[in-house]
Structure formats: C-alpha cells, structure tokens
Structure 1
Amino acid sequence: MGLGKLLHSHREHADEGGVIERPRAYEVVAELAYLGGRRAAFTRLAAAARPRPGDRVLDVGCGTGYLSRILSPVSGHVTGLDPSPAMIAHATERAPSNCTYVVGEGQDLPFPDGSFDLVVSSLAMHHMPREARPEALRQMFRVLRPGGRLLIAEFSPPSGHLARRLVGLLTGPAMRHDPHELLGSMIPDAGFQVTDEGRLPHLMYYVRATRP
C-alpha cells in the first residue's frame, strides 16, 4: 500500500481528489519525506509569498497548519481552511493567537468578497477534483481585495523515470502530476495577472500572481 492510501481517501484516479484523514501520521511522513529539511523548505515558500505586516492571509488547503504557522509572525491574521475536520482540529490545537482554522472547500470559500490581502495554497490543488479546480481559483480571486496577491505551490515530481515511479508508488496517483499540466491556464483564466513562477528546493513549483 502506498503512503497516499495510508494517509488519505484518494481514489485510484488522481483527478477525483481526496481528503487527508490522519494528521499525525501525515506530519511524521512529511518530516521523513523532507529528510529533515521541511522547515527550511516551507520557510522558503513563506518568503516567496511575500507576506506583509498586517496582512489578512488565507491558506487554502492548510492541512495541519504548518505553513500558516510559519506565516503568522509576519502577518496580521492567518485563516486556514481545509475540508478535513481531523486536519482542522490538529491545526487548531497548535494555533498561534493570530491563526484561525475552519472546515471548508476551496471551491466554495465561506468568506466575503475582498476579505484577504494574500491567499496561499501549498500542495493542495492536486487534492481537489479536476472539475473543482477552476472554481477554486475563481473563489480565491473573489476573496482577495483588488491588488491582493496569490501564491500557488505544487509538488513537482523528479525528472528521472525511476525516481518518478518511486514517488508514485509511495504517494499514489495524486502526486504523479506535472504542475504545469495540473494548473494549466487556470490562474490567468480566473482573472489573475501572473507575475512570476519558479522552483524551490524539495521538488516544489510555485506561481505568484496578483488580482488587478
């Protein structure tokens, strides 16, 4: 059994999405997967989001709240959202005073228009069903204020065939995607202006954008 099946409810086909149900097991596996470099990797990712003092930040697909906790010291308030009650409970238990966590889906964000200055989503888009992903980006656009910023980060599989196969065996079909194919033109199609994109250590690819 791959680790993906152990941790969450992904079906056999990656495009059907899934929800992670075992937060403590996920934390252990994540630490092992990053070979001791998880904190450094997500600190780099948080820096790429360019949070500002006083920012109202939304973390879509926040999971255990790992990234939102790193963002919290340099932000005004961070709201984490995830469809898994177990993950939200885990995140809430560890929440800094300026972090709030709610159960919800990216394609149906329960927030008013223009509620946030910054929206981030890390390693979450591939968990959503394919048909829900464009609406999730439109929802992120809606809840950002004009001039607000977006950072989407996704897993980028290794280029070697053997390494890609190993990743697939460990994590299941959801992590075999090419991030360019996964995201396609969804970000500009939702109304965003893409400002840049790039790669970070530990097989992460990001796109940074703004709401005009």
Structure 2
Amino acid sequence: MGLGKLLHGHHEHADGGGTIDRPRAYDAFATIGFLGARRAAFTRLATAARPRAGDRVLDVGCGTGYLTRILSPVVTPTGHVTGLDPSPAMIDHARDRASANCTYVVGEGQSLPFPDGSFDLVVSSLAVHHMPTGARPEALRQMFRVLRPGGRLLIAEFRPPANPLARRVIGLLSGPAMRHDPQDLLGTMIPDAGFQVEAEGELPHLLYYVRATRPQ
C-alpha cells in the first residue's frame, strides 16, 4: 500500500479529491516530507498570508490544525482562527491540540457554513488538490463570499521538484494528486471567483502560493 492510500483510507474520490483520515500518520508523513523543516515552511506560509492582530481567520482544509496553531498567536487573543476540514478524524485531532483562540468545524470548502463577510483572512494550504475537481471553483467562490470586502486570501499548493527522479519518488509515495503543477491545478479559479491577485510565486520546501484580495 502506498502512503497516499495509507493516509486517505477509504474516503477517496474518483476525480482526484478525497479526505485524509489518519491524522497521526499524516503528521508523521509531513515531518518526513518537509525533511524536518515543516515548522519553517508553514511559518513562511503564515508570513506570506500577512495576518494581523485581531484578524478573524479561516483555514480551509486545516487538517490537523498545524497552520492554525502557527497563526493563532499572531492574531493575538483579540483575533480568532477557525479551521475547517471534511474529515472528522482530523478535526478531532486538531481540537485536542487547539489554542485558546482556535475552533474547528467539520465541513467542505465548496459549502462553507459561515455567513457572508465573516472573515478578514482565508488561507488554504495543500488542500485544493484534495477537493473533487468539479468542486474547486465553487470552493473559491465560497472563500470569496465569506471574506469581508478588502479581506485577504492565501492559497498554497505543493510544487513538485524539478528533478525527474525526485518527482517520480514523490508520485510513488503520495499518488497522482501530488504530481500536479500548481499553476495548472489552480488555473484561473482565483480571479474567476472575483479575487484580485496581488502576488504569486515559489517558497522554499516545494511550495507555491497565490495571495489575493476581495475588492472593496
């Protein structure tokens, strides 16, 4: 059994989406996959998102809550971080480790259970490729809806290594979902949802990001 199947369990979609239902295995795999630099990688992501004290933040596809726990002290006790994931196992794991200003909700990105304009910042890291292909544009529209005017968005995805052998190894370990080119994966979904793209580019540790805003 490949690591992709080990992590996903039995909740996989035929069109490339799926949930991860083994949080401890996922955290162990992430530690290995980032070569011991997971904290540094996600700190860079948090910095790229530009959180502010007092922000209301939503992490779509939060998994075990790793990024939420990095963001929570930055937004200070006056802010709040909400993590959402379709896997109850991941949400339970995140709740067990929650910071005081973090809460977690079971749900899907394409059907966010929050009112319009609820958040100042929406982030989503390594999650879009787990969504069913047909649901991804709606997920971006939902992120737009729950952001206040002027709110910010950060989407980060895995960037396969340039070395062909390394790419093959990644594919064997994680399955086809991690072989994508992130620019092809995201395509024009972010501007099509109404966002104004401000910046995009590569980060260390094989990450690619897009930062955007909801126009005023």
TM-score (norm 1): 0.97
Counterpart mapping for 1:9-158 below 5 A: 9=9, 11=12, 15-75=15-75, 76-158=79-161
List per-residue Cα deviations over 1:95-153 (Å, max 9, x = no partner): 00000000000000000000000000000000001000000000000000000000000
Counterpart amino acid of 1:24? R
How far apart are the structure 1 equivalents of 2:19 and 2:150? 31
Q: Following TM superposition, by how much is the alpha carbon of 1:11 offset from its aligned partner in structure 2, in angstroms?
A: 4.4
How far apart are the structure 2 equivalents of 1:5 and 1:122? 20
How far apart are the structure 1 equivalents of 2:149 and 2:13? 39
Partner of 1:198: 201
List per-residue Cα deviations over 1:35-67 (Å, max 9, x = no partner): 110001100110000000000000000000000
2:168 is the alignment partner of 1:165: yes
How far apart are the structure 2 equivalents of 1:61 and 1:81? 6
How far apart are the structure 1 equivalents of 2:179 and 2:32? 19
SS at 2:68 equivalent: helix
Q: 1:144 to 1:12 in 2, by over 3 A?
A: closer
How far apart are the structure 1 equivalents of 2:134 and 2:208? 22
8 A Cα contact 2:16 2:129, kept in partner: no
Number of residue-to-residue matches in the alignment: 211
How far apart are the structure 2 equivalents of 1:12 and 1:74? 35
8 A Cα contact 2:12 2:19, kept in partner: no
8 A Cα contact 2:150 2:214, kept in partner: yes
8 A Cα contact 1:12 1:173, kept in partner: no
Partner of 1:6: 6
How far apart are the structure 2 equivalents of 1:12 and 1:19? 9
How far apart are the structure 2 equivalents of 1:61 and 1:140? 12
How far apart are the structure 2 equivalents of 1:82 and 1:182? 20
Match of 1:178 among 169, 178, 181: 181
Q: Following TM superposition, by how much is the alpha carbon of 1:163 offset from its aligned partner in structure 2, in angstroms?
A: 1.1
Q: Following TM superposition, by how much is the alpha carbon of 1:16 offset from its aligned partner in structure 2, in angstroms?
A: 2.9
